[in-house]
Structure 1
Amino acid sequence: MAKSREERAAELRAARKRVTLFQQPIRTVANFSVMMHRFTHWLAVYISTHPFTVRLLVPFVVLWVVLRFIPGPHVPYMDEIWLMFRLVVWWVGLGILSSVGLGTGMHSGILFLFPHVYIICTTSEECNNLNFDSRVNMWEGHLEPGQNFPCLQPSPTGTFTDNVTLWGLFLKCWFYCFLWGWGTAIGELPPYAASYAAAKSREADEEFEELQHQIESGTHDWLTSSKRWMINYLQKHGFLGVLLLSSWPNALFDLCGICCGHFLMPFWNFFIAVSIGKGVIKVTGQLAFFLFLFSKLFVESRKAALHFFAPIVERVSFGSITHSKFVHKVNEAIHKVSRGRGQAGAAAGGEEDDGRVTLATLFGYLILVLILYFVMSCFNQFAQQRQKELDDEELNKTYGKVAPSDAATNTTASSEKPPGSPYNLRTRPQKAE
Structure 2
Amino acid sequence: MAENGAEHELSQRRVGVKEQQNGKFADPSLAEQKRRDREERLQLVLWKKPVLCLHYFLLESLITVKEWTRKLLQQRVMVLAMLLVLVFFSIAYSIEGTHQKYVQYLEKKVLWCAYWVGLGILSSVGLGTGLHTFLLYLGPHIASVTLAAYECRSVNFPEPPYPDQIICPHDEAAEDSISLWTIISKVRLEACMWGAGTAIGELPPYFMARAARLSGAEPDDEDYEEFEEMLEQAENAQDFATRAKLAVQTMVQKVGFFGILACASIPNPLFDLAGITCGHFLVPFWTFFGATLIGKAVIKMHIQKLFVIITFSKHIVEQMVSLIGAVPLLGASLQKPFREYLEAQRAKLHHRAGEGTPAGENWLSWVFEKVVIIMVCYFVCSIINSMAQSYARRIQQKKHSEEKTK
> Would the alpha carbon gap of residues 236 and 101 (structure 1) be closer, same or farther in structure 2, given more than 3 Å must change?
closer
Q: Distance in 2 between matches of 1:274 and 1:382?
A: 36
Verify the 8 A CA contact 2:121 2:197 in the aligned structure 1.
Answer: yes
Task: Quote the residue 2:211 is aligned against.
Answer: 197
Q: Distance in 1 between matches of 2:72 and 2:273?
A: 29
Q: Distance in 1 between matches of 2:147 and 2:159?
A: 12
Q: Distance in 2 between matches of 1:122 and 1:303?
A: 11
Residue-pair matches, total: 328
Task: Quote the residue 2:117 is aligned against.
Answer: 92
2:83 corresponds to 1:66: no
CA RMSD of aligned residues (A): 5.3
Task: Quote the residue 1:269 is aligned against.
Answer: 287
> Would the alpha carbon gap of residues 149 and 261 (structure 1) be closer, same or farther in structure 2, given more than 3 Å must change?
farther
Q: Distance in 2 between matches of 1:379 and 1:225?
A: 32
Q: Distance in 1 between matches of 2:254 and 2:107?
A: 45
Task: Quote the residue 2:201 is aligned against.
Answer: 187
Q: Distance in 2 between matches of 1:169 and 1:113?
A: 14
Q: Distance in 2 between matches of 1:285 and 1:115?
A: 16
Which residue, out of 127, 132, 137, partners 1:112?
Answer: 137
TM-score, normalised with respect to structure 2: 0.61
Q: Distance in 2 between matches of 1:111 and 1:72?
A: 40
Verify the 8 A CA contact 1:92 1:180 in the aligned structure 2.
Answer: yes
2:169 corresponds to 1:155: no
Q: Distance in 1 between matches of 2:194 and 2:231?
A: 40
TM-score, normalised with respect to structure 1: 0.58
Question: Which has the larger Rg?
Answer: 1
> How far is the alpha carbon of 1:188 from its aligned partner?
1.7
Any idea what the Cα deviations from partners look like across 1:298-332, whole Å, max 9, x if unmatched?
Answer: x2x7789999xx9xxxxxxxxx989x97xx89x97
> How far is the alpha carbon of 1:344 from its aligned partner?
4.7
Any idea what the Cα deviations from partners look like across 1:209-257, whole Å, max 9, x if unmatched?
Answer: x969725554546675454333222222222121111112222221222
Verify the 8 A CA contact 1:99 1:184 in the aligned structure 2.
Answer: yes
Task: Quote the residue 2:74 is aligned against.
Answer: 46
Q: Distance in 2 between matches of 1:303 and 1:343?
A: 20
2:95 corresponds to 1:78: no
Sequence identity of aligned pairs in percent?
Answer: 29
Question: Any residues of structure 2 matched to 1:242-321 within 5 Å, and which?
Answer: 242-296=260-314, 299=315
SS at match of 2:176: helix
Point out the more displaced range, 339-348 or 181-190.
339-348
> How far is the alpha carbon of 1:149 from its aligned partner?
3.4
> How far is the alpha carbon of 1:62 from its aligned partner?
1.3
Q: Distance in 2 between matches of 1:92 and 1:246?
A: 17
> Would the alpha carbon gap of residues 175 and 348 (structure 1) be closer, same or farther in structure 2, given more than 3 Å must change?
same
Gaps (5+ residues) in structure 2?
1-22, 42-55, 346-363
> How far is the alpha carbon of 1:131 from its aligned partner?
2.1
Gaps (5+ residues) in structure 1?
1-9, 311-319, 351-363, 395-433
Taking CA–CA contacts closer than 8 Å with sequence separation of 6 or more, which of the two structures ends up with the larger relative contact order?
1
Q: Distance in 1 between matches of 2:290 and 2:305?
A: 21
Question: Any residues of structure 2 matched to 1:140-151 within 5 Å, and which?
Answer: 143=164, 147-149=165-167, 151=169
